[in-house]
Structure formats: structure tokens, C-alpha cells
Structure 1
Amino acid sequence: MNFDVMAAAGALDRAACEARAVPQFGEALDLDTAYRVQKALMARRYARGERRVGMKLGFTSKAKMIQMGVDDLIWGTLTDAMLVADGGTLEMARFIHPRVEPEIVFRLGRRLGGLVTVDEARAAIEAVAPAMEIIDSRYAAFKFSLADVVADNSSSAALVIGAWRTDFGDLNHMPMRLLFDGAVVQAGSSEAILGDPLEALVAAARLAGANGGALEPGDIVLAGAATAAEALRPGVAVRVEADGLGAAGFSVG
């Protein structure tokens, strides 16, 4: 049976626009087709005026890869419409069941694509910042298969970026905390991101190259979560702290 890529993309797009969950596709959807759905989904958003600004990675935790039974990362696309200002407000009504993760984000100063070394990846970085990704699966009960989540742009919904730093040092073993109303709700280390966040950038270049493209100057790359995600609720003040890198925050309206 042929899978209707355009119908699936339309259903996921409407689910995001209307903040209304849809059923999972399940076994009817394989991974290759899921990326075709994601591409069609993003084409609908570009047609409405959204502009691509970068890439996000998923399953950068080895424990999560084992849990999902996969041996590679997944990726999604970031657009300008997903950006929430540091110190800004995230409107809960825009989302279905949003969760937040503390991350590190890279901004590139030169083109990066295909198979690259860690040193080449580091040399391509223009700046680094602490960040938070808001994930919001468009599927009912926040349950999905690997192919389901890929089709849904890897659950990416919004992001908050702190102040950019060009004078960053070692990004590994960096303590990171996620706080709600000043209280720590998740704590971890940047080491949870593939053992070294720079490895995530290496992977992003490889995945972009395998997709027939590259990461371009000015692109941002969300490296992956340093801790488990935390469910958001109205009225909470959210903050990420990355020792030696900085902090960022937002409020939920």
C-alpha cells in the first residue's frame, strides 16, 4: 500500500497550527518515507513565509538511542517562526503538550558538510550559546514510533537562545541545569550530548551532506538535550544555566 506523503504532511501541519493532536501513523510509515513527509511538511511552512535558520538533532543521548532501538541520530529543521526571545513569553495555547530541554546551540561562521573531524567542526563555529528547545509531539498522548517522530519534524516546536559567546572554551563536562521558578527540576552535563557536543556538530554535517546539502554560514545547530525533558505549565518561569557559558530564560503565558 502506498503511503500518502502529502496527506500526512497536511495532517501534521494542521495539528501544529490548531494545537490539536492526531493519531500516530505507526507501521504504515517507514523511516525513509518519514523524512519525505518532513520535507513536505516544511515546504508547506516555507510557502507561508517561514524561513529556515538551521537544524536540530535528536537522540543524542546514547541511552535514548538504545531505548528507541536506533543506531543513528534523527534531525529536524529550525525556522525563524520558532524563535522565542530570551526573556520572552511562550504562549501555552500554541502547543499541545509542550516540554522543554536544556541544550547547547552553535552558530556557524563557515560552510560545513559531509564527513568532517571534530577539529574541523570546531573551526567552523562562530559562536556558542545556552539554549532551550521546546518539543511538542503532534501525536496523541505524546507517543510515537521512530518514523512518526521524524515525520513530525523530530517534535521540534520552538527554541530560546541565550547570549552568543565567541570566546567559548571546552564545551564538554559542562554542568547544566533547568530551573522552574528558580528551583532546579533537571540537572546534567553537556557530556550527555554524544559524549561531547562537538560530536553532535560533526553528526549534523554528516546528516546534512547525506541529505544533499550542507550547513551554511549563519546556520544554527541545536546539539541535543543535556537532560530529560520537563513538561511545561502556564505561569512558570523557565531558565537554563550552563556553567561557563551563560543562561537563558522565558515565561510561559
Structure 2
Amino acid sequence: MLSAAQVQDVAAELLEAEATRQQTGLLSVRYPDISLDDAYAIQGAQLATKLAAGRRILGWKIGLTSKVMQNALGIDTPDSGVLYDDMLFPDGGQVPRGRFIEPRVEAEIAFVMKAPIDGNVSREDVIAATDYVSPALEILDTRILRADPETGMRRRIFDTVADNAANAGVVLGAQRHDPGDVDLRWVGAIVEQDGEVTATGLGAAVLNDPVMGLVWLARRMASYGHRIEPGQIVLTGSFIGPIECPPGTAIRADFGPFGAVSTRFA
């Protein structure tokens, strides 16, 4: 368990890493007894600092929603992070060179809300509160090293959660759909990197139903005193593995009748 002072110190360290594009070491190595509550407290301290500096909450992301990723990390629960208003990139646009440290991209289904949800909500509550769903790309980055250079130990969920669930950006596709009209489990994407198919996946990989991601998120957020607000974007989790995006990379995700979304890294 970390002290309040340690939580604030680590939060400041991660904000500095983001600003300078210089990664810091694994928290799980430095603090072997770190807990998931500690990690969310560190994330929350960064949120408080950013809001005080004028940033706004654009929405939320859900990660580690597939069984493959959960098993790889030895966990049985997703994680979540915050989307800020400076994280939204235009569909078909360009991500400036140097904006991120080690950017990667995932294909996801985004929900845009028209009513608040919090607490013990149902699947039906989520659908009723959703304005529309769209194809999306999530841009990942890591302010914490992916592996410890001395031991080779890889990041654990505590590192990822403290690092805002590796969240860095979002690209929304232009197409909008009523979630009640689409079986999101069967919404899939063919993802191309520089014109070559790199990954494919189906929405069913996200907790067997992307809507259930919001059910989980609303319940988790309520335990930390937050809720999902109208107008906010929620990324429900990836159904492909992350794709590395060095400078010059072009990404396009073709969701078929559901739409398409693309971005390029300068």
C-alpha cells in the first residue's frame, strides 16, 4: 500500500514523463506491494492535476477486455482510463511527429452518451443512455517502460492502470449507428498498416458484448465517485492486438457496413 505522499510523487513523475517524452521505470518493481487501488489513486491524482490546469474529460476507455489479454497478465478484470479533450484526433488526419513516445493503435467500438449512467446499471440502461456508436481507433502510449531493463520483468496491471491505462488518443469514424439496431458482437474490423492487412477481429472479443464493457465501467466508476456523463465518449476495448506505429505509419480500419476510420503518424 502506497502512502498519500507516494501517490502524489508518482503521479507527478508520470506527468513529467508525458511532458518530456521520457519514460520512467516500472512501478511494480519499485513498489512490489503496490495495489490496484494504489494504481487508480495515482491515475486519479493525475486527473486532478490536469483538470486544475484546464483540461476537460472527453470520456473514458476500457482496456484488457479480452480473455487473451487478461490471461497474459494473470488477471480476471478489465481496467480503465481517462480520455482528455486534447486526445481527440480527426478521422483521416495526421498525428504530429513527436507527440507520443511509443505509439500503438487498436481498433474499437466507441459509444457516445446522451444520458448519464452510474452504479448498478443493466445492459438495457446502457443502450437507452447511448446516443450512438461509431468505429474508432485508440492510440496507446506508455509513459512507463514496457519491461524492466535489469530483470526483463514486463509491465503489470498496476503499471498500466497508474499510466492511465496506456491511453493517449482517440480517432472517431464519421459513421453513427443506434446501438439497438446493431449486434455489436458481430461488428468486426480489417485493420491495414501501410496498405497491408495486419489484424482482424470481432466485437465479441470484448467481454462477449461491447455493451457489457460500459456496464462494468459504470459500476467500477461509482466505487471511485465518478459517473459517465452525457456527451462523453467511451472506448469499449480492443478486439485486435496493438499495432506498433513508428513515424510514417498509416492505419486504416475497415468495419464493413459499420464504417471505417483512419489515421497517419507523421
TM-score, length-scaled by structure 2:
0.90
3-state DSSP of counterpart to 1:172: helix
State the match for 1:147 in structure 2.
158
2:92 and 2:113 mapped to 1: Cα distance? 24
* Structure 1 letter corresponding to 2:172: I
State the match for 1:32 in structure 2.
37
3-state DSSP of counterpart to 2:184: coil
Q: Please tell me whether the aligned partners of residues 127 and 164 of structure 1 are also in contact (alpha carbons under 8 angstroms).
A: no
Number of residue pairs aligned between Structure 1 and Structure 2: 253
State the match for 2:14 in structure 1.
12
Q: Please tell me whether the aligned partners of residues 134 and 174 of structure 2 are also in contact (alpha carbons under 8 angstroms).
A: yes
Select between 141-150 and 4-13 the one with higher mean Cα deviation. Answer: 141-150
2:214 and 2:146 mapped to 1: Cα distance? 31
* Structure 1 letter corresponding to 2:7: V
1:44 and 2:49 equivalent? yes
Cα displacement (A) at 1:91: 2.0
1:232 and 2:245 equivalent? yes
Residues 56-104 of structure 1: CA deviation (Å, up to 9, x unaligned): 0011001211221212211111111111111111124121111100001
State the match for 2:233 in structure 1.
220
Work out which of the residue numbers 76, 88, 102 in structure 2 matches 1:71: 76
Residues 179-214 of structure 1: CA deviation (Å, up to 9, x unaligned): 112221111111111111111121121112222222
Residues 200-248 of structure 1: CA deviation (Å, up to 9, x unaligned): 1211211122222221111111000010000001112111121221011
State the match for 2:183 in structure 1.
170
Cα–Cα, structure 1 residues 48 and 164, in superposed 2: closer, same or farther, change >3 Å? farther
1:14 and 1:28 mapped to 2: Cα distance? 24
Q: Please tell me whether the aligned partners of residues 239 and 247 of structure 1 are also in contact (alpha carbons under 8 angstroms).
A: yes
3-state DSSP of counterpart to 1:188: strand
TM-score, length-scaled by structure 1:
0.95
Residues 140-194 of structure 1: CA deviation (Å, up to 9, x unaligned): 2454121111111010011111114144522112221211122211111111111
1:38 and 1:165 mapped to 2: Cα distance? 31
Q: Please tell me whether the aligned partners of residues 178 and 187 of structure 1 are also in contact (alpha carbons under 8 angstroms).
A: yes
State the match for 2:96 in structure 1.
91
1:77 and 1:165 mapped to 2: Cα distance? 22
State the match for 2:150 in structure 1.
none
State the match for 2:151 in structure 1.
none
* Structure 2 letter corresponding to 1:118: R
Unaligned runs of 5+ in 1: none
2:223 and 2:202 mapped to 1: Cα distance? 29
1:154 and 1:161 mapped to 2: Cα distance? 19
* Structure 2 letter corresponding to 1:247: A
2:175 and 2:207 mapped to 1: Cα distance? 22
1:196 and 1:243 mapped to 2: Cα distance? 18
- How big is the alpha-carbon RMSD for the aligned residues of Structure 1 and Structure 2? 1.5
Residues 92-117 of structure 1: CA deviation (Å, up to 9, x unaligned): 41211111000010001111111122
Q: Please tell me whether the aligned partners of residues 192 and 253 of structure 2 are also in contact (alpha carbons under 8 angstroms).
A: yes
Work out which of the residue numbers 178, 198, 203 in structure 1 matches 2:211: 198
Unaligned runs of 5+ in 2: 148-153
State the match for 1:107 in structure 2.
112
